Amino acid sequence: MRRIGFLDNPVDANRFCEFLLTRQIRATAEQEAEGTERQAIWVKEESRVDEARGLLAEFQVDPRGTRYDVAHEAREILRREQAEQAQRLSRLKKFNPAVASPIGSLGNQRVPVTIVSIVLCVLAGLLTGFGLPTVRVDPMGREFPTSESRIYDAMTFVNRHDLSPLQRAEDDPFVSIRKGEIWRFLTPALLHGSMAHLVMNMMGLFFLGSVFERLHGGRWLAFALVTMAVVSMTVQVFWPAANNGGPSAVGASGAVYGLFGFFMIREFREPMYPIQLPPMFRVMGLGFLILGVLMVIPNIANGSHVGGLASGMLFAVTVPAIGSGRRG
């Protein structure tokens, strides 16, 4: 918020603030000091300060000009905004009676798809040693697969046993897919490289997935998660290896970034959408992605994050508006 100048009395200050409101500039007037009528004019948006300062100079030349007779229009704008806010709050209460924490609060509604997705990821982690499957080694130094390593190899994008001794997964990332094992587009999202990796992704999936499911239903969430996971993994495979691309990535972060992208865009498509991401949440999510792409943060599946984010943004303009159809 920036102070742009002063007016001599509250009447002129209110008249000018109403005029700014009709120009979509948010401003307030405050008494400069006790015992005086002089009013300080404050503009909320930093990007509109120079424009508002110029309009103030024009107003001071002719404060009684007819162009400033906009009290009725300003009241109508405020009334409309209050009605929209009331409608937004009503929608939020409908889907979350507690209205205490819009992001992640379960309210009184069940979120089975979110819970099942988390359980599947946890189960996959337990069955595969959380990215470090055990192997048996005989006295001759030969490795023998364990149940953990077999399951892990069956769920990664490339089964290491499909590669020749001198071949890397990057040489032909579709070597296992070509055998008809198309589930590998999806199953890497269930695997995680460590317990911390799993916990971080499951927190994001719970907070964002539960809200999505309450608003749009379980069938839409299931479709979205599968699509986002497949798209994010596909982009990761083709992402430059020099920027941490390649088929060896695991984790649900691509789908989580998809949900993040969905909520980031959705409110612009549906003005009365009851959920808005907090600005700090946006900054943190985009900042982490950018720092990964710039290689400031190492060992990040950048292709997966970018692909997930893009697919979520696309979902934001394709999922039907709330109340336009039956929820699953």
Provide DSSP, 241-255.
GGGT-STT--SSHHH
Q: Is 99 left (phi over 0), alpha (psi -120 to 50) or beta?
A: left
Q: Collapse the DSSP code of 296 into the 3-class scheme (helix H, G, I; strand E, B; otherwise coil) and give the result.
A: coil
Domain assignment of residue 223, yes or no: yes
> 126 and 256 share a domain?
yes
Burial of 136 (0-12, 13-18, 19+ CB in 10 A): exposed
Using the 8-state DSSP alphabet, how is residue 320 labeled? Answer: P
> 64 and 114 share a domain?
no
User: How far is Cα 2 from Cα 49, in angstroms, rounded to an integer?
Assistant: 7
**Predicted local confidence at residue 91, as pLDDT:** 61
Q: For residue 152, which of 181, 180, 131 has the smallest C-alpha distance?
A: 131
Q: What is the CATH number of the domain that holds 28?
A: 3.30.70.2350
> 117 and 44 share a domain?
no
> 284 and 137 share a domain?
yes
**Predicted local confidence at residue 273, as pLDDT:** 82
User: How far is Cα 131 from Cα 125, in angstroms, rounded to an integer?
Assistant: 7
Domain limit, last residue, from 20, 53, 69 = 69
Structural domain boundaries enclosing 16: 2-69
> 63 and 119 share a domain?
no
**pTM > 0.75:** no
Domain assignment of residue 76, yes or no: no
- Structure token digits, residue 39: 């009013």
Domain assignment of residue 33, yes or no: yes
Q: Is 319 left (phi over 0), alpha (psi -120 to 50) or beta?
A: beta
CB 171 within 8 A of CB 182: no
> 65 and 103 share a domain?
no
- From first to last of its 328 residues, the chain has per-residue pLDDT tens of 789 999 999 999 999 999 999 999 999 999 988 888 999 999 988 889 999 999 999 999 999 999 999 999 999 998 888 887 776 666 655 555 444 344 444 445 689 999 999 999 999 999 999 988 988 887 777 778 899 999 999 999 999 889 888 788 888 999 999 999 999 999 999 999 999 999 999 999 999 999 999 989 999 999 999 999 999 999 999 999 999 999 999 999 999 999 999 999 998 888 778 888 888 999 999 999 999 999 999 999 999 999 999 999 999 998 887 655 444 4
**Predicted local confidence at residue 105, as pLDDT:** 41
User: How far is Cα 286 from Cα 283, in angstroms, rounded to an integer?
Assistant: 5
**Predicted local confidence at residue 325, as pLDDT:** 46
Q: What is the CATH number of the domain that holds 276?
A: 1.20.1540.10
> 312 and 232 share a domain?
yes
Q: For residue 17, which of 75, 102, 86 has the smallest C-alpha distance?
A: 75
Count up the domains in the chain and report the number: 2
**Predicted local confidence at residue 82, as pLDDT:** 83
